[in-house]
Chain A
Amino acid sequence: MQENENISHEHDDDEQHEHAHDDNDTPQHTHEHDDGQHEHEHHHEESFIRKYIFSLDHKMIGKQFLVYGLIMLFVGGGLALLFRWQLAYPGRPLPIIGASQQYIDEGEIVTSNDKRWDKIFESEKEELMETHFPNGVIEDKTYNMLFTMHATIMVFFVVVPILVGAFGNFLIPLMIGTRDMAFPILNMLSFWLAVLAAIVMAAGFFVPGGHAGAGWTGYAPLSVDPQWTDVGWGQNLWAISLLIQGFSSLVGSINYITTVINMRAPGMTFFRLPLVIWSLFIVAILLLLAFPVLSSALALLIFDRLAGTTFFTTTTEGGGDPLLWQHLFWFFGHPEVYILILPGMGIASELIAVNSRKPIFGYRSMVYAMIAIAFLGWIVWGHHMFQSGMRPGMGSFFMTTTMLIAVPSAIKTFNWLGTMFRGSIRFTTPMLHGIAFVSMFVIGGLSGIYMANTPVDIYIHDTYYIVAHIHYVVFGGSLFAMFGGIVFWYPKMYGRYMNDTLSKIHFWITFIAFNCTFFPMHILGVGGHMRRIANPQFYDFLQGFEGMNIFITMSAFTLGFAQLILVFNFFWSMKLGKVAEKNPWNVTTLEWEAPTPVPHGNFAQIPTVYRGPYEYSVPGEESDWIPQAQPEHAPASAGD
């Protein structure tokens, strides 16, 4: 491509800007659409703070969200490993920090850990470790805190910030062909509100009484009154942090919606948008409509906790209703689940089309299916409440709507298969992740049918079956798409490839360990193993599952440590990865038209779009891909 010679230069940003500026060798681009945006190219040099911290550039904000999400991924994952330890070996001290059994039983100091614990117990001060992990053993109350915070962090601080925050920010302006988001300052605000929310959330670990322990769903009245959980400010900070995170999402979603509607490049009609942009656009609408419901519920919860109101509690004299919380939470919560998976679907669609060298099979049905999923998402919340004491008649309604979601999900799955049909499939690392996404989504989708079915749900509700299901959808789905997306767009983000060997090792370990961790959970669920219990060995009917729990824990640790490979690769490749050319995967969409690394303002000239996003292997063309910005009947410049 035209700018290939740039690539071998040092990646000094200033130099790159000049290249972008000099980069007038794109004759096919029409110039009349440039409406006075030239000052972007002649921008002054920015200070470090302006560029890396309080940046207004959508690409930098996207990268900030990515690093933010990866850090939180380790926090959330670490919490999971702690409670997995407890499930495999209930009551046994944690490795590394735990005291010896002799010390616990007889007070005899054997190891250096014992000495340390002895000192902690002797001291007057109430230490965090002493209350949460005496002797290195996870208390039941601590266990509640761990799984509550694991889910809260993964849902609100990892998946949404990465899929929506990072990919949304980085991709939307580039893929629709514009210079930045509609509201760059709001965009920056969105990121820094998310940081504030994370700080408030983190603070909850250090307050007396520990962090929230009422589950990520925060069911009332458990979450309302400290007397039920012994949790004080932890639960308050949990609610306040989520309120702030809600504002962050709200600000971001307004920005996305405005940008997609108003700032598409000339010729970029809605039905020429890449599917990932469609998914992010739909998700932004869901976020805009869903989050205020959660925010209202959280505000009422805070009133209940701090101002003595009784929205979610009930007494014989009257008061509110605990079920009100569940209705509000799940009215938000179910669209939220689709917020987690839709961008994954969008990313997987890109990965599969590009690497199969074929147009998306049934592009329009893919779009309609996503719209259908988003719409149905509003009328299925009751399927979380089949056993809640909600009127059984409502159960039948919610079962029907929930079952209906299988239809657009099936359409999407079959269309992904159709996209691979008669393709020329390249097994790049992003493609492996795309295939993993589809396979895991199939398992997650099929396991959903069991729970949608009300009579069967009576039995498997609140068991490990649901834990398996959610992880197949959100880890198997969203996270595999996210890993694939990172490897795929990394060359555009950082101008270098991630190390492919490391990426492949990371993929295979993750894929195998993931299935070893979460597939057996289906079996636990069928055996009746409840979720959220700290000690399965306490129950006679669960005695047979000890070995399986240990196996799951081992796999979980493998899965967790495999992510270190990703992070190492991510940061190592930034400086030392192989330098990437402008369009290393031969992709048609607009983000690859921009020079690498993408300068402030993205494009030298705003591109004009002449065709749909997936023109691969067009008959009669020499090259197997035609960029969206390549005019009709122009000499094919693709592939040279």
Chain B
Amino acid sequence: MLGWLPENISEYAQGIDTLFALIYWITVVVFVLVMGTLIAFLIMYRHREGHRAEYIEGSTKLEIVWTTATTVIVFGLAMLSFPQWNNLKSAPDNPDYVVQVRGEQFNWYMIYPGPDNEIGTEDDLELENELHVPEDKLIQIILTSKDVIHSFFIPNLRLKQDALPNRFLDNIKFQATKPGTYEIPCAELCGFGHTTMVGFLHVHTQEEYDAWVKEQWSE
């Protein structure tokens, strides 16, 4: 099952895969134990002539055991997840680059602040469905939508966040570790063109990225 996960190229989200694997093994063990017991019971206690069921109304001791055991496991998992979650969903303090992303039926518009590092000024650059970032740098995304709710999903970064109309969410960040091109589908139904809404994340090496910047803002 774990082998089906797409390649993880995120510095931040390694923990997601670790948690996934942990839960996977817990659930596999529980599943095997429960199903094994069930099948064993079905075979051992199948109806046989002359055999009678035993009148057992329950056991308070056992109820306490499995209630406590389950509670401990789920609370343990929750405790492990809190710090991860808070870390993943908090706005970065000192991002290296900031890009605003706007979902709009049925495209992603990427707005780069340009040399003045401010969005909403004349030197902004707006690209359709193309997100260019350098590798190993902390990128902050300011996410918004023009019309309906979209969801910004980059499978290889284990990143997903809904884009809301008229809200600018600033708690999306990533650090990509491997140059390449990755897809950015929309994960929230957004209308008849939902299926074809896809952008591309281009992770460049720093030199490539600098060259790209030069090309874009040279005029």
Contact = CB atoms under 8 A, between A and B. Distances in A.
Given A420-B38, A442-B35, A624-B53, A538 B5 contact: no
Q: Which of B30, B193, B195 has the most CB of A within 10 A?
A: B195
Given A453-B81, A456-B16, A532-B194, A423 B55 contact: no
Contacts of B38: 417, 420, 435, 438-439
Given A458-B159, A461-B160, A403 B78 contact: yes
Nearest to A313: B165
B116 to A, nearest CB: 24
B214 interface: no
A395 B183 contact: no
Interface string B19-38: 11001001100110011011
A422 B169 CA distance: 57
Chain B CB count within 10 A is highest, among A527, A528, A540, for: A528
Interface of B: 1-2, 4-6, 13, 15-16, 19-20, 23, 26-27, 30-31, 34-35, 37-38, 41-42, 45-48, 51-59, 62-63, 66-67, 70-71, 73-75, 77-78, 81-82, 84-86, 88-90, 105, 147-149, 151, 153, 155-156, 158-167, 169, 171, 182-183, 185-196, 198
A406 B58 contact: no
A221 B166 CA distance: 12
Majority DSSP secondary structure for residues of B touching A: mixed
A459 B191 contact: no
Contacts, number: 275
A229 B98 CA distance: 32
A104 interface: no
A541 B55 contact: no
26 contacts: A222-B191, A361-B57, A362-B57, A389-B162, A392-B89, A396-B86, A410-B70, A417-B37, A418-B56, A418-B58, A422-B53, A423-B45, A443-B31, A447-B27, A455-B88, A456-B23, A458-B13, A461-B160, A462-B151, A462-B188, A526-B4, A528-B153, A533-B185, A538-B195, A539-B198, A619-B55
Nearest to A391: B89
A523 interface: yes
A315 B149 contact: no
A538 B74 contact: no
- Chain A to chain B: the 5 pairs with minimum beta-carbon distance, closest first: A528-B155, A362-B58, A392-B89, A141-B192, A403-B74
A459 B90 contact: no
Contact of B1 (A143, A522, A541): A522
Given A396-B82, A427-B46, A539 B162 contact: no
B34 A442 contact: yes
A242 B203 CA distance: 47
Contacts of A447: 27
Nearest to A533: B195
Contacts of A454: 81, 84-85
